[in-house]
């Protein structure tokens, strides 16, 4: 990856490591500039990198553009074979459908803490504000369809309806 990305999670199957390059950027130099450490790059197209588990270098990773796919955590991933015998990678992950809305509201999320000292308790309460994220589910990457099409970043993507 040529730019920093908040790569918070990845998935590993029997054949591949799957890395997500999302629109959320992590930029330590922004702290010096008085800006946020973490920000959203709305111009960036999210990508999924598929790296063979026994690759010998970074040149073995294959990138697939997946517009609108911004995840923090993976649920599961596995290898499949399609009807023609081609390799397909399945990744199950919650997708943040409105990345801008999520990021604007992340500063408003607060928790509650309570400390006990003998017979008395100090309780500090703060509001907990957060809308539930709308998510979608399964993404399938057709590894064989992209063979010889490195410039096109072709992939087959199938998503479950919003949950």
Give binding residues for Fe cation as ranges.
8, 73
Contact by Cβ (8 Å): 103, 24: yes
Contact by Cβ (8 Å): 31, 13: no
Closest CA to 138 of 1, 6, 11, 8: 11
- At 35 the three-state DSSP class reads coil
Closest CA to 47 of 78, 15, 69: 69
Instruction: Detail the residues annotated as belonging to a binding site.
Output: 8, 73
How far apart CA 104 and CA 32 sit, in angstroms, is 21
């Amino acid at each position: 990856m040529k730019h920093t990305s908040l790569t918070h999670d990845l998935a590993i199957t029997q054949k591949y490591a799957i890395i997500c390059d999302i629109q959320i950027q992590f930029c330590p130099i922004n702290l010096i500039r008085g800006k946020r450490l973490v920000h959203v790059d709305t111009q960036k197209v999210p990508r999924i990198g598929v790296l063979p588990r026994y690759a010998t270098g970074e040149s073995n990773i294959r990138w697939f553009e997946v517009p609108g796919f911004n995840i923090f955590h993976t649920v599961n991933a596995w290898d499949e074979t399609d009807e023609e015998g081609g390799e397909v990678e399945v990744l199950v992950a919650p997708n943040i459908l409105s990345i801008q809305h999520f990021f604007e509201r992340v500063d408003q999320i607060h928790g509650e803490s309570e400390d006990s000292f003998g017979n008395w308790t100090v309780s500090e309460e703060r509001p907990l504000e957060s809308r539930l994220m709308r998510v979608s589910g399964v993404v399938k990457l057709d590894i064989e369809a992209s063979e010889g099409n490195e410039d096109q970043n072709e992939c087959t993507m199938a998503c479950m309806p919003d949950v």
